[in-house]
Amino acid sequence: MTGELSPIDKAKFVAAKKATDFVEDGMRVGLGTGSTAAWLVRCLGEMVREDGLRIKGVPTSTRTAELAREVGIEVISLDAAKWLDVTIDGADEFDGELNLIKGGGGALLQEKIVATASDQMVVIADIGKEVETLGAFPLPVEVVPFGWQTSQALIEETLVGMDVLGRSSTLRMNGDAPFITDEGNHILDLHLGRIGNPRQLAMVLNQIPGVVENGLFIDICDAVVIGYGDGRVEVRDINAGTVEEATLDFVETDNLFTDLAD
């Protein structure tokens, strides 16, 4: 399997594989959305099938739920779980304080709800997702369909007073139609270039009528597992102030995931 992966996919895989160390038998686990999170779900599915791991997974999107069931993970709702031991998810960007931009896959609302309902949130990412300052990746903002253009105008007007480089926004599309989230909402992608004060921006955006949630995850992430294309992996725990480094060996004949769609 891994012999056929690109370096960036190898990085995602080793990060996901290492993150399984945070999962123990009997846990209720938040399962993220996106390409890196999909690797995690597959790794956990292997542990369920091969090692008898017993966990209950709370997915952050319908596509994650489908993959989790496919690989043998028991899926339950957040209401049934009530509280989670850990959530493991990817990120579009993360900075040195483990502030995040998420929502590139369109699941930011469920992702934020699940992450904040957990004892611990762990981010898995390739090294290319680390930035000095958030904002190069467009910031997703979920808005209700009613009056979305008014919400967009209010957002762009608000950005004039924010510490950002750009102030334009675009409606996310799915072909010729607007992208629709699992909750039936739209997403506006804000092209900011640089976000000087992520905490302030996150608070201000959520005060705008029509805005449901934004993709800035502030003071939510506890640890990040960073994968590299050569198999190295780094675990940074912001609470403990520790950095752990390791190298994961690839098993070239491993066919675990070849029959699963990404």
Was 253 annotated as part of a binding site? no
Was 105 annotated as part of a binding site? yes
Was 57 annotated as part of a binding site? no
Question: Which residues are catalytic, by number?
Answer: 111
Was 107 annotated as part of a binding site? no
Was 89 annotated as part of a binding site? yes
- Between CA 12 and CA 18 the distance in angstroms is 10
Was 35 annotated as part of a binding site? yes
- Between CA 179 and CA 182 the distance in angstroms is 10
Was 92 annotated as part of a binding site? yes
Burial tier of 230 (Cβ tally within 10 Å: 0-12, 13-18, 19+): exposed
N- to C-terminal Cα separation, the chain: 13
How long a stretch of residues is the chain? Answer: 262
Was 12 annotated as part of a binding site? no
Was 91 annotated as part of a binding site? yes
Rounded to an integer, what is the distance from CA 256 to the centroid of its chain?
23
Provide the annotated binding site for substrate.
Answer: 33-36, 89-92, 102-105, 129
